[in-house]
Amino acid sequence: MQFLYPSFLLLLPLGLIPVLIHIFTRLRLQRRGFPSLVLLESVRRERWSWVRLREILLLVLRTLFLLLIPLALSRPRLESRLPFRLGSDRMLLILDHSYSMAYGSRWQLALEAARRIIHSSSRPMLILSSHPDTVFSGRHTLLTLLDTLSASTISPTLQPALTRAAELYRQTPMPVIIITDLQARAVPENIPVPGGQLQIINLGSNRFDNAGITGITYDRRRLRVRIFNYGGTPVIRTVRLKLEGYQEEKVVNISARSAVFAEFSLPPDLRHHYSGIVELSSDSLLVDDRRFFTLETPSRVSVPIFVSSENQGKYLRLALVTDTLQFLPLLLNISELRRTDLTRYQAIIIADASALRPADWERLDFYLNSGGSALLCAPSLTNGNIPLPIRYEGPVSHLGFITPAEVDTTHPVLSGLRTVDLNAVRVYYHSRITGGRTLIRLANQDPLVIELPGKNLIIWTFTPVPEASDLVYRAAFVPLLYQTLKYLTGINRRNEWQTGDTVVLTVDTAEPFRLLMPAGEKTVFSEAGGIKPVVKITDTRLPGIYRLENGQHYEFAVNPLPEEGDLTPAPLEPLIRNRIKIYPPRLYAASELTGPLLYFAGLLLALELLLLGLESYRKTPVRR
């Protein structure tokens, strides 16, 4: 409680005056002897009881009256739980719109707090953490937005919204309020808004109970589901697999802050490509209790390796036979190229492009234009025989060796490889080729790996043999070869994305596609990509199975970020040290008590006058 004029509290001792008068009056009473009690026998005992009660009531009423008057004059107020002064001109509100806010009643408390703050400001503004670039303003607009807003399934951090708030604060200083559960992963280490101007409505707690599905893997017709218990107590959950009419359940016991795996054996009659869902028995956070998946059972892809000598294909073949479930290498002489029906194969490898004749180049070009793909190893070439948009500038030999200097890890061929492993590769000789997109560039700026736009073709400017490079002895060789072939054949097409992601799919045709998704269906159009057209899908706000159809069939799953299910809050001490005020979720404005106190004092005075009036009425003689 706060007092606007605390000096009036010095008058509170006036409340003792009626008590002192009552005590002194009792002390003045004297005992006198009375000769006879005959005349008092007719006086009823009730008269004395009423007098005693009247004196006590008048004492209490007068004491309370004299205490309430100084209290009312001191202007007492209950302390406000609003994070800013009532009636502030400008105010910026940041609402955490991640799916962890859907835990329990957090989202309802967040909306309630947001409405109270918006009502208490004359010019409120709002930023959603899910859309930090958009600033909503106007009280009516914000209240309407809150009425239509529901808990999301995405997992943005607070950093982008705070960065946007810092830009607005530099333009016009104003209070900045965040309504959030202060989840540890969402709170940035360095907050750009000045601490003295930032307040947080904290909806989080260290006490929570949540378990979620964090991943699904497939291995030899067995599905492994990983479940993590984020809470501080052990839990028992039921895991349910639903897969094209097939269902199976397992019960798991999960210790606190630990993970377990549930394994399901898939029926043998499933088709090559399938999709399904794994569900967890519900808890207070439903978003991470379901996980969708699309999987393809591995089928071997035959890959012919055309060589002019057996040594050229030795290491390529050894690398591919390490996992016969995906690729089946076929070692063929380069002379077999003109007699082989290349259309039977999704991809081919040419270990020595210098051995190709003009007719072989034409056959290769026809194969690529017909939808085929190839890995071309080109230690040397002849420009006149190449029907490709590249230029051969001759072989390059080194007295020692040269190493890669630039690696394009954004490309799917290189995305899973460590740059440090590729940078350690030694190259002794290679060819200098220009054109296309360079994926790996040597220290002398010569390309080592090239992708040709418009052709499903990857070029290595060397042959993977020990005389040309020690790559064949490096740990990166097998992953590089596998990812190259998976990229060329489409096996490595990504089949899982996160909610809110922009999905980019490589397709075989530039025609429109029909997109089936949990929110409905619509038509999407492809656009130019690298080798093939691509389709970009931006509306992935809902988890589920998404299907792209147009004669061909593309399917992928969209799931929430598993880490968002960890509701562990960030520590408050660093925030408090930065002068950031933290408030509980239930807010109320400061209320002044002067009016109620004066009304109560008037009521006491009225009661005293009523008692005195009743006493006067009882003493008035009745006329007969």
pLDDT digits (tens, 9 = 90+) for 267-321: 776 666 788 999 998 778 999 999 999 877 656 788 999 998 888 899 999 998 8
Residue 25 has pLDDT above 90, yes or no: no
Residues 443, 429: Cα–Cα separation, whole Å: 13
Task: Give exposure, 587-599, as e/b (b: 16+ Cβ within 10 Å).
Answer: beeeeebbeebee
Q: Backbone phi, then psi, for 184, in 5-degree steps?
A: -60, -40
What integer pLDDT is reported at residue 167 of this predicted model? Answer: 92
Residue 249 has pLDDT above 90, yes or no: yes
Calculate the average pLDDT of the chain: 85
Confidence at 333, pLDDT banded by 50, 70, 90: very high
What integer pLDDT is reported at residue 552 of this predicted model? Answer: 75
What integer pLDDT is reported at residue 31 of this predicted model? Answer: 62
What integer pLDDT is reported at residue 29 of this predicted model? Answer: 56
Instruction: Return the top range by mean pLDDT from 308-312, 319-323, 397-401, 463-467.
Output: 463-467
Q: Tokens 């209790």 identify what position?
A: 289
For the stretch 70-99, pLDDT in tens is 888 887 766 555 555 544 578 899 999 999
Task: Please say whether the beta carbons of 198 and 580 come within 8 A.
Answer: yes
**In percent, how much of the chain has pLDDT > 70?**
87
Choice between 223 and 551, residue whose per-residue pLDDT is larger = 223
Helix (H) or strand (E) holding 249: strand 246-254
Task: At 511, list the tokens.
Answer: 């025609």
Mean local confidence (pLDDT), 130-135: 93
Task: Please say whether the beta carbons of 375 and 449 come within 8 A.
Answer: no
Choice between 123 and 490, residue whose per-residue pLDDT is larger = 123
State the pTM of this model.
0.63
Choice between 27 and 425, residue whose per-residue pLDDT is larger = 425
Residue 387 has pLDDT above 70, yes or no: yes
Pair type for strands 327-333 and 347-350:
unpaired
Residues 408, 412: Cα–Cα separation, whole Å: 9
CA-to-CA separations, 343 to 330, 337, 351, 533, in angstroms, rounded? 15, 12, 19, 21
Confidence at 597, pLDDT banded by 50, 70, 90: confident
Helices of type H across 202-327: 310-320
Choice between 388 and 47, residue whose per-residue pLDDT is larger = 388
Task: At 16, list the tokens.
Answer: 């003792």
Give the amino acid at 123.
R
- Choose among 178, 183, 174: nearest CA to 201: 178
Residue 619 has pLDDT above 80, yes or no: no
**In percent, how much of the chain has pLDDT > 90?**
42
Residues 431, 463: Cα–Cα separation, whole Å: 10
Confidence at 621, pLDDT banded by 50, 70, 90: low
Contacts of residue 614, defined as CB under 8 A and 6 or more positions apart, other chains included, come to none
Mean local confidence (pLDDT), 518-546: 86
What integer pLDDT is reported at residue 86 of this predicted model? Answer: 44
Lowest mean pLDDT among 44-53, 196-205, 593-602: 44-53
Q: What are the chain's domains?
A: 2-29+43-79+593-619 (no CATH), 88-207+567-583 (3.40.50.410), 211-297 (2.60.40.10), 301-489 (3.40.50.880), 496-559 (2.60.40.10)
